[in-house]
Amino acid sequence: MEIRVTSGDIAQVATGAVVVGLFEGAPQLEGAAAALDRALDGAISRLMADGEIKGKASEATLVHTLGKLPSARVLVMGLGKKEDLSLDRLRAVSGDACRALRRAGVTRFATVSHGAGVGGIEPRAAAQSLAEGAILGLYTFRRHMTRPPEFKEIDELLLVEREAEKLSALEQGVRSGRITAEAANMARDMVNEPANFMTPAQMAEAAREVAEQHGLAITVLEREQMQEMGMGALLGVAQGSQQPPKFIVLEYKGGGSRTPLGLLGKGLTFDSGGISIKPAEGMQEMKGDMAGGAAVIAAMGAIAQLRPPVNVTGIVPATENLPSGTAYKPGDTLKSMGGKTIEVISTDAEGRLILADALCYARRQGISPLVDAATLTGACVVALGDVCTGAFTNNQEFLNKVLKAAGTAGEKTWQLPMYVEYKEQNKSDVADVKNTGGRNAGAITAAQFLAEFAEDTPWVHLDIAGTARSEKERGYTVKGATGTPTRTFIQLALDLA
CATH number among 3.40.50.720, 3.30.9.10, 3.40.220.10, 3.20.20.60, domain 2-156 = 3.40.220.10
Q: What is the pLDDT of residue 257?
A: 72
Please list, in sequence order, all residues whose beta carbon lies within 8 angstroms of the beta carbon of residue 424, skipping any fewer than 6 positions away.
Answer: none
What's the rounded Cα separation, in Å, for the pair 81 and 479? 27
Largest CA distance in the chain: 80
Other Cβ atoms less than 10 A from the Cβ of 113: the count is 29
Burial (CB count <10 Å: 0-12, 13-18, 19+), residue 87: buried
Helix axes 486-496, 396-409, angle to 10 degrees: 120
Does the CA dihedral 296-297-298-301 come out positive or negative?
Answer: positive
What's the rounded Cα separation, in Å, for the pair 340 and 17? 62
Q: What is the DSSP string of 194-216?
A: -TTTS-HHHHHHHHHHHHHHHT-
Other Cβ atoms less than 10 A from the Cβ of 55: the count is 20
CB 400 within 8 A of CB 426: no
Respond yes or no on whether the N-terminal peptide bond of residue 260 is cis (omega within 30° of 0): no
What are residue 220's phi and psi, to 5 degrees? -120, 110
Other Cβ atoms less than 10 A from the Cβ of 126: the count is 28
Residues classed as catalytic: 278, 352
**Rg of the chain over CA atoms, in angstroms?**
24
CB 451 within 8 A of CB 459: yes
Task: Assign residue 21 a region (left: φ > 0; alpha: ψ between -120 and 50; beta: otherwise).
Answer: beta
DSSP class of residue 44 equals H
Other Cβ atoms less than 10 A from the Cβ of 14: the count is 11
What's the rounded Cα separation, in Å, for the pair 403 and 119? 24
CB 315 within 8 A of CB 263: yes
Q: What is the pLDDT of residue 114?
A: 85
Residue-level pLDDT, tens digit, the chain, 497 residues? 999 999 999 999 999 999 999 999 988 888 889 999 999 999 999 999 999 999 999 999 999 999 999 999 999 999 999 999 999 999 999 999 999 999 999 999 999 998 877 678 999 999 999 999 999 999 999 999 999 998 899 999 999 999 899 999 999 999 999 999 999 999 999 999 999 999 999 999 999 999 999 999 999 999 999 999 999 999 999 999 999 999 999 999 998 778 999 999 999 999 999 999 999 999 999 999 999 999 999 999 999 999 999 999 999 999 999 999 999 999 999 999 999 999 999 999 999 999 999 999 999 999 999 999 999 999 999 999 999 999 999 999 999 999 999 999 999 999 999 999 999 999 999 999 999 999 999 999 999 999 999 999 999 999 999 999 999 999 999 999 999 999 999 999 999 99
Domain chopping of the chain, boundaries? 2-156, 181-496
Ranges of H-type helices in 149-199:
167-192
Q: What is the pLDDT of residue 24?
A: 95
Please list, in sequence order, all residues whose beta carbon lies within 8 angstroms of the beta carbon of residue 165, skipping any fewer than 6 positions away.
Answer: none
What's the rounded Cα separation, in Å, for the pair 13 and 92? 24
CB 97 within 8 A of CB 74: no
What's the rounded Cα separation, in Å, for the pair 442 and 309? 38
- DSSP H or E stretch at residue 266: none
CB 342 within 8 A of CB 356: yes
Q: What is the pLDDT of residue 355?
A: 98
- DSSP H or E stretch at residue 97: helix 87-103
List residues bridging with 338 in a β-sheet.
Answer: none
Domain 181-496: which topology?
A: Aminopeptidase (3.40.630)
**Which residue, among 285, 360, 276, has the nearest Cα to 315 in the 3D structure?**
360
CA distances from 216 to 203, 253, 304, 343 (A): 16, 8, 7, 37
DSSP class of residue 105 equals T
Helix axes 486-496, 291-306, angle to 10 degrees: 40
Q: What is the pLDDT of residue 118?
A: 67
* 177-196 pLDDT, tens digit each: 999 999 999 999 999 999 99
Which amino acid type is present at position 209?
A: E
* 264-318 pLDDT, tens digit each: 999 999 999 999 999 999 999 999 999 999 999 999 999 999 999 999 999 999 9
What's the rounded Cα separation, in Å, for the pair 333 and 431? 7
Respond yes or no on whether the N-terminal peptide bond of residue 485 is cis (omega within 30° of 0): yes
